[in-house]
């Protein structure tokens, strides 16, 4: 995503990241942080939750990561924001990203600086249109969990990129794309 695409997808005031990317060594508390938020999400949404998964680097044992828990939430229709956003906002999440052109993805966040116990990125997809996105996220996570060489390659890439300054954290994510695509290609061989 370039700056214009980032600005178009962002909900609220977009401010530059302006801090270095800090990778932490694997933290044994990360799974319990996910579990805490999973309970809160299920309590807020009930049967609206079709699937909930811990994803991202904090879900991979042995992988250094930014201390941000990424969660995949599947709801019936991400475009139907009234069906889930207000309940999540009442539970302390804030809608920050709306990407109708990318699998109707939405992202809500909770941040320590706003009083949360830990940082969360809650990525919301729906079945059908979002199936490809869901499959890719889970295939990437599962590949890193089960293939030491891919996990090490990804971590090396992250460590090199973390040394750079980024205007927006999305630029850091963009810079990892080639390696992520390479690993997903091994996880999801051509059918």
pLDDT number for residue 167: 72
How many independent structural domains does the chain possess?
Answer: 1
pLDDT at 96 over 70: yes
pLDDT tens for each residue of 20-56 = 788 999 999 999 999 999 999 999 999 999 999 999 9
* Alpha-carbon span 153 to 165, nearest angstrom: 21
Q: What is the pTM of this model?
A: 0.88
Q: Quick one: three-class SS letters along 66-84?
A: CCEEEEEEECCCCCCHHHC
Q: Can you give the CATH number for the domain in which 7 is found?
A: 3.30.460.10
Which of 125, 117, 96 is closest to 32 using CA atoms?
117
* Alpha-carbon span 61 to 42, nearest angstrom: 24
Q: Which long-range contacts (CB under 8 A, 24 or more apart) does 36-40 make?
A: 36/117, 37/69, 37/71, 37/110, 37/120, 37/122, 38/71, 40/91, 40/92
* Alpha-carbon span 36 to 126, nearest angstrom: 23
The range of the structural domain enclosing residue 43 comes to 3-187
pLDDT at 120 over 60: yes
pLDDT number for residue 21: 83
Strand 68-74 versus strand 94-99 pairing type = unpaired
| Token reading at 169 | 């954290």
Task: Give CA 36 to chain center in angstroms.
Answer: 16
pLDDT number for residue 191: 52
| Token reading at 6 | 């980032």
Average pLDDT value for the chain: 90
* Alpha-carbon span 80 to 154, nearest angstrom: 35
pLDDT tens for each residue of 131-160 = 888 999 999 999 999 999 999 999 999 999
Angle between helices 148-162 and 177-187 (to 10 degrees): 170
* Alpha-carbon span 6 to 48, nearest angstrom: 28
pLDDT at 118 over 60: yes
């Amino acid at each position: 995503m370039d700056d214009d695409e980032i600005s178009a997808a962002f909900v609220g005031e977009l401010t530059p990241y302006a801090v270095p990317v800090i990778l932490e060594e694997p933290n044994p508390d990360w799974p319990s942080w996910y579990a805490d938020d999973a309970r809160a999400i299920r309590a807020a949404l009930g049967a609206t939750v079709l699937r909930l998964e811990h994803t991202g680097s904090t879900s991979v044992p042995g992988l250094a990561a930014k201390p941000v828990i990424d969660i995949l939430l599947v709801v019936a229709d991400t475009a139907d924001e009234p069906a889930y956003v207000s309940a999540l906002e009442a539970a302390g999440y804030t809608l920050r990203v709306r990407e109708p052109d990318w699998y109707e993805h939405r992202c809500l966040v909770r941040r320590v600086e706003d009083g949360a116990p830990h940082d969360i990125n809650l990525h919301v997809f729906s079945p059908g249109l979002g199936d490809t996105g869901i499959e890719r996220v889970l295939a990437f996570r599962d590949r890193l969990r089960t293939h030491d060489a891919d996990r090490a390659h990804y971590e090396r890439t992250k460590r090199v990129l973390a040394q750079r300054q980024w205007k927006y954290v999305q630029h850091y994510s963009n810079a990892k794309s080639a390696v992520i695509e390479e690993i997903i290609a091994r996880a999801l061989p051509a059918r």
